[in-house]
A and B are shown apart, each in its own frame.
Chain A
């Protein structure tokens, strides 16, 4: 039985965890411990030792990211910011919503501890505008915290002070990119910024800023409360901790479960999602959202660890898998994703702004039976040039190319059949 850490206050009934209930389950123990007996430097060492990696998709070690924030004596006086990236818009991702709706205090405690560690005095939760329930529950929880002395001046009688705000986004996928998010918080168009300077040094309003994903921050109270060594024992593979893994698509029991880091894909798919719906077979999966490469049957025994999935040519991303069944068209699925990425391109650089709609057009022609052999070459060319990091301003367009390039690798026959048949071969069964 897996130890429930992040989801211990979460149940099937979608209720929030009010402050008294959260406190009764060891809530704010980590914060009390840190403010009483740990210097910020000690908290940083604990998080570094825990080997926690970012749960938003990139998997960067959290402690290392924090260590780039300059100490007070090394920068001009002024604010430092902590931002929670709660802009969950990666297609097929539905884990942060759960954490925020049902246990808002866990996130808030994680943010207070993180702010204490990096020396931030202002914190923002940058959240999707569509997450109305989460916004409401977070605002209520923040109010409870101000009333209980967990937020505001001199938290729990210490010298540490923190203000926290919820900022609902006006809606755009690119806001999930941390520098674009910072521009959005500054009231601007959310075009990503050039790096360097990195936000850790010059972020919101030119001040040192850390941006972390919701799930990453939710791990912090437990690491501080129970220690890095305990945290490392939670994983069953290379990586430490637990992870929220999700499965969507036409499986019997789609859902989101907290499991040890390194749980094999097959176990998630068969034991938790209960396998494919009757009459359907497994064809492939995107392991962590819409901008990750397809994996196929032969990958099912791989562990959901950052490096293992990386070595198989994909990315663990958000850890929420999207399953492709054998009666859905892979070309249609990739077209759906490319449409999304073309729409959500911020328009700042040409390869992304013009390249993605061009790719969409080619795929639409294929899906509508108007494709040619030449179109397949065009797609390969687009994958090569749009998909190479460095050819575009940020990672959106290369991310968009990941499902396309891997679909062409594993399901090339399907692409070819669209050309030779002059229609989508999956139309026969009346599906898509």
Chain B
């Protein structure tokens, strides 16, 4: 009986596609909690972030407490527990980029988008986050916008990049 309730709550929050993908991960871990990070990533991939409702539903599906899963979700930099924009900007602020003047580029970026670290633009298109070294130090300063890496950043390049995104958005 209780199981049925849990089952129905879980399936009403998570889509059947999400559950299916999570179950694939479950097939090669010896205990259900082993798929915790994968499950969080699967849900986030579809929704952009992990809401409380989703977190609770995942925890139930993996037979772990919501508190334990929350401890895992908040540990990792790339699991978002708050809504983010359509694209997340990961701006490298590590040492090689710092030496190559990333602080000035960050300021420029903040001027263009009118947001600081941890904030989302009003049109909900972009969220700006700092990220540890992106492993492209020979082309510093660098950042990622969504899945794309941008290198050798300077003021005009930043303007150009976001002008392009604006154009794309208007199409």
Binding site for B on A (CB under 8 A): 88-94, 96-97, 128-133, 163, 165, 167-173, 184, 186-190, 205, 246-250, 254-256, 286, 290, 320, 322-325, 328, 332-333, 336-337, 340, 343-344, 346, 432
Please tell me which one of the listed residues A90, A165, A250, A254 contacts residue B133 in the complex, with CB atoms under 8 A apart. A90
Contact status B133-A92, CB under 8 Å? yes
Q: Point out the residues of chain A lying under 8 angstroms from B147, CB to CB.
A: 132
5 additional contacts, CB 8 Å, given A249-B99, A340-B132?
A170-B78, A247-B138, A250-B99, A286-B95, A336-B93
Contact status A131-B135, CB under 8 Å? yes
B10-18, B26-34, B155-163 - interface stretch: B26-34
Contact status B136-A94, CB under 8 Å? yes
Contact status B135-A340, CB under 8 Å? no
Smallest CB gap from B96: residue in A? A248
Contact status B28-A165, CB under 8 Å? yes
Q: Point out the residues of chain A lying under 8 angstroms from B94, CB to CB.
A: 91-92, 290, 336, 340
Q: Point out the residues of chain B lying under 8 angstroms from A332, CB to CB.
A: 98
In the assembled complex, B75 has its CB within 8 A of some CB on chain A? yes
Contact status A172-B77, CB under 8 Å? yes
**Contact A337-B131, Cβ < 8 Å, known A172-B76, A432-B103:** no
Tell me the bound Cα distance from A355 to B136 in angstroms.
30
In the assembled complex, B72 has its CB within 8 A of some CB on chain A? yes
Contact status A97-B136, CB under 8 Å? yes
Tell me the bound Cα distance from A114 to B136 in angstroms.
28
In the assembled complex, B115 has its CB within 8 A of some CB on chain A? no
Contact status B75-A190, CB under 8 Å? yes
Q: Point out the residues of chain A lying under 8 angstroms from B100, CB to CB.
A: 249-250
**Contact A333-B98, Cβ < 8 Å, known A94-B138, A248-B140:** yes
Chain A-chain B contacts (Cβ-Cβ < 8 Å), number: 130
A85 vs chain B, min Cβ distance (A): 13
Contact status B95-A89, CB under 8 Å? no
Smallest CB gap from A174: residue in B? B75
Q: Point out the residues of chain A lying under 8 angstroms from B138, CB to CB.
A: 94, 246-248, 254-256
B143 vs chain A, min Cβ distance (A): 11
Q: How many residues of B contact A (CB 8 A)?
A: 40
Cβ < 8 Å to A, chain B residues 53-104 = 71-72, 75-79, 90, 93-96, 98-100, 103
A275 vs chain B, min Cβ distance (A): 15
In the assembled complex, B153 has its CB within 8 A of some CB on chain A? no
B1-9, B36-44, B106-114 - interface stretch: B36-44
In the assembled complex, B19 has its CB within 8 A of some CB on chain A? no
Contact status B95-A91, CB under 8 Å? yes
Contact status B30-A205, CB under 8 Å? yes
Smallest CB gap from B25: residue in A? A187
Contact status B77-A254, CB under 8 Å? no
Q: Point out the residues of chain A lying under 8 angstroms from B140, CB to CB.
A: 248, 254
Tell me the bound Cα distance from A332 to B36 in angstroms.
38
Contact status B131-A322, CB under 8 Å? no
**Contact A320-B41, Cβ < 8 Å, known A333-B98, A340-B95, A344-B132:** no
Please tell me which one of the listed residues B33, B135, B144 contacts residue A94 in the complex, with CB atoms under 8 A apart. B135
Tell me the bound Cα distance from A323 to B137 in angstroms.
11
Tell me the bound Cα distance from A255 to B139 in angstroms.
8
Tell me the bound Cα distance from A10 to B79 in angstroms.
33
